[in-house]
Structure formats: structure tokens, C-alpha cells
Amino acid sequence: MVCITVGTGIGSGLIVNGKLVRGASNAAGEIGHIKLQMENGPICGCGDRGCLEAFASGPAIVAMAEEYIRGGKSTKYRELANPDITPYIVAEAAKQGDVVAKKIFETIGNYIGVGLASVVNLLNPEKIVIGGGVADAGELLFTPIKETLKKRTMPIQGACVEVVHAELGNTAGVIGASLLIED
């Protein structure tokens, strides 16, 4: 199973045979730093360019929304922002039918789907659980992710993977961290 969170960044964890995969330095599963662009991509918080996180995290949604406004696009999220645009505001605008906001989530979902396609092709997981604040956009995000996975994964690997919303929502990380504390 692969679990990812999409919010301020994109984090992830891998579970194989019921065990968390930690890696040689306890840093396995950094899906947010899969490269989507080799040259001149957006700068990521890690300092490199072209990372999935730089293309598809909460800050990427805000940057894309602001770019549409600078380009003269009339948008519902501009009206809803008070004063700042957030991923939540963009999602609300999309749910209210704003075409630009829908396009933003379609683009973000496609980017995440491309990153996850690499993971699915490599690891062949049964399930991908997606959480974090951006995942609260629901099908606005999940539909393009699933469509991209269907197009971009190898048929055998893609046929058996299920993509679901994290049941614990945005509190999963806190709950998981608390379980690591030993008495």
C-alpha cells in the first residue's frame, strides 16, 4: 500500500507485507520528490527543480490560481478569497462550477497521477490512500488522478490498484505519530 498526503507538500509512506518501509536512512517513500521535469521546472522546497511537490502541492494550486488572475481570467475563487487564495477556496470555486478552478484541479490531479503511475509501475501496490488538506477536494482531485493512472500505468499493475480517500482525513498524520510513541 502507498499512502500520500497532499497539502503544503506531498509526503508518503509505503507499507509492504504489513510493515512500514523505512529505507536505509529512515527516509523511504519521498514521492513528492519524484522528478516530473528535467530542466527549468519549478523550484521545490527541497531546493531542486521539477519535483512533483513543486507541481502539485497546495502552494502549487495557489500559484496556478494567481497566475490565471494575472493573465486576466475572471474566476469565482477571486471573489471567494478574503484576502488570500487557498487550495480550499479554489476547490470551493470549482464545486460552484468555476471553469478555471476545475481546470486547476484537473491539472494538479494529472500531475499527481503521473507521479503515482511511476510508483504503481515500480511497486505494484494494491491500494493508494490519499489524504491531506488538498485531498478534501474529493472527486475534483481523485477523478483526474484515477484517469491518469489508467492511461499511464502498465496494464497488469494498473488493473489491481485501488485509489481511496484517507478515512481519517487530515488528522491521520497526528494519529499515526501518536502511535509511534512508546510507553
pLDDT value of position 183: 59
pLDDT value of position 173: 67
In angstroms, the CA 136 to CA 86 distance is: 13
| pLDDT band at 172; cut points 50, 70, 90 | low
In angstroms, the CA 152 to CA 120 distance is: 10
At 7, the amino acid letter reads G
- pLDDT tens by residue, 22-68: 999 999 999 999 999 988 889 999 999 999 999 999 999 999 999 98
> Residue ranges per domain, the chain?
2-179
Average pLDDT over residues 89-95: 93
- pLDDT tens by residue, 133-161: 999 999 999 999 999 999 999 999 999 99
At 118, the amino acid letter reads S
- Give domain 2-179's CATH number out of 3.40.50.300, 3.40.1390.20, 3.40.50.920, 3.30.420.40: 3.30.420.40
- pLDDT tens by residue, 62-87: 999 999 888 887 778 877 887 889 99
In angstroms, the CA 155 to CA 39 distance is: 29
**Strand extents, DSSP E, 136-181:** 162-165
**pLDDT surpassing 90 at residue 6:** yes
CA dist 172 → 22, 98, 111, 116, 181 (Å): 18, 30, 23, 20, 15
CA dist 21 → 9, 17, 114, 128 (Å): 20, 9, 22, 15
pLDDT value of position 168: 78
Q: What are phi and psi of 13, to 5 degrees?
A: -145, 155
In angstroms, the CA 85 to CA 73 distance is: 15
pLDDT value of position 39: 87
- pLDDT tens by residue, 107-131: 999 999 999 999 999 999 999 999 9
